[in-house]
Amino acid sequence: MAFDTWESYFYPPPDEGTLRNLFDERDPVVLTRLEYVDTARRQRELLAGQVAIPRTYDADHVRAIHRHLFQDVYEWAGELRSVNISKGAGRGFGDVKTGEVDELLDDVRKRVAGTEWGRLDRDTFAERAATVFAYLNQAHPFREGNGRTGKVFMEHVAERSRFTLDFGQVTPDVWNQASQLSRPDMFFYDPEPASLVPVFRAIAQPRTTGPATPPAPSTGRSAARASYPQAARQATTQPLQTGPQRGSQARHGGPYMPGSGSGTGLGR
C-alpha cells in the first residue's frame, strides 16, 4: 500500500484515529500496548547483538534500526515519512517537501564522524551527544517510533566512547521536555541542544573497558530554555518551569499533527 498522504496512514472511518498496522488492531489503546511489547522485544535483540546493523551513522543506519524495531507493527517500518508532522506549538519537524529531513540526517552523520568519541570526558561527551540527538530529533524521519529509534541510535554512538547510556537515570517527562526545547525556533534550521546537555550528562555512565566494539551478530523557547536545570543531578529530578508563553506545551507534546512545512524553506 502507498503511504503518501496523511489519511493513508490511518484506517478509514470509523477507525480514522488508528494507524494502519499489521495486527489489524483498530483500538488505538490496544495498539499502543501491542506496539510497545513487540518493539521492546526487538530492541532487546538489537542491544544483545543478535542483529547485524552496520554502524554507518547515516540515514540507512537509522532506517535499519526502525525497520527492525517496528517490522511486526507497521508495513512502512524503516521507510521515511512522506508527510510533514508537528507536535505542539512552533516549528514543525523536518520538512519532507524540501529535502530537509535528508539534510538533517546528513548533519547527524557528519557530527558523529567528525568527533573523536573515545577521547571525550563526560562533559564534552554530553555536549556532543546532545547535539547529535538534537539533529536526529528535529529530523523525526518516521511517522511513528522516532523516540525509540533515536535511543537505540544514540547507544550505537556511545559504543565509540568511554560511556554507556542509562536512560533510566532520567524520567520520561524530563527526556521529553528536553527534546521539545531543543527544537529550532520558527523559521530557523539548527536545533538548540542546550536543554539536552544535562540529560546526556546524567545518563552517561563510565564504561569500564574503554570504547566498545559493536557486538557481532550471534547467528520562541528562550525563556523556558533558560530555566532548564543545568546540573546532571537536577536534570534527573527537577521538573521544567516553563515560561508563561509556553503554558503546558513543553510538558506534553501531544499527538502528531499534520505539518505545514513551517521550516525555513531554504534548508539552512
The 3-class secondary structure across 22-78, one letter per residue, is: CCCCCCHHHHHHHHHHHHHHHHHHHHCCCCCCCCCCCHHHHHHHHHHHHCCCCCCCC
CB 187 within 8 A of CB 256: no
Residue 241 pLDDT: 38
Residue 208 pLDDT: 83
| pLDDT per position as a tens digit, 77-126 | 999 999 999 988 778 999 999 999 999 999 999 999 999 999 999 999 99
Residue 27 pLDDT: 98
Residue 1 pLDDT: 87
CB 194 within 8 A of CB 225: yes
| Ranges of residues in the chain whose predicted pLDDT is under 70 | 210, 213-255, 259-268
What CA–CA distance (Å, rounded) separates 178 from 243? 14
What CA–CA distance (Å, rounded) separates 5 from 2? 9
CA distances from 121 to 124, 127, 201 (A): 6, 10, 10
Residue 256 pLDDT: 74
Question: Where does 17-253 sit in CATH, by number?
Answer: 1.10.3290.10
Q: Where are the domains of the chain?
A: 17-253
Residue 223 pLDDT: 39
Residue 252 pLDDT: 35
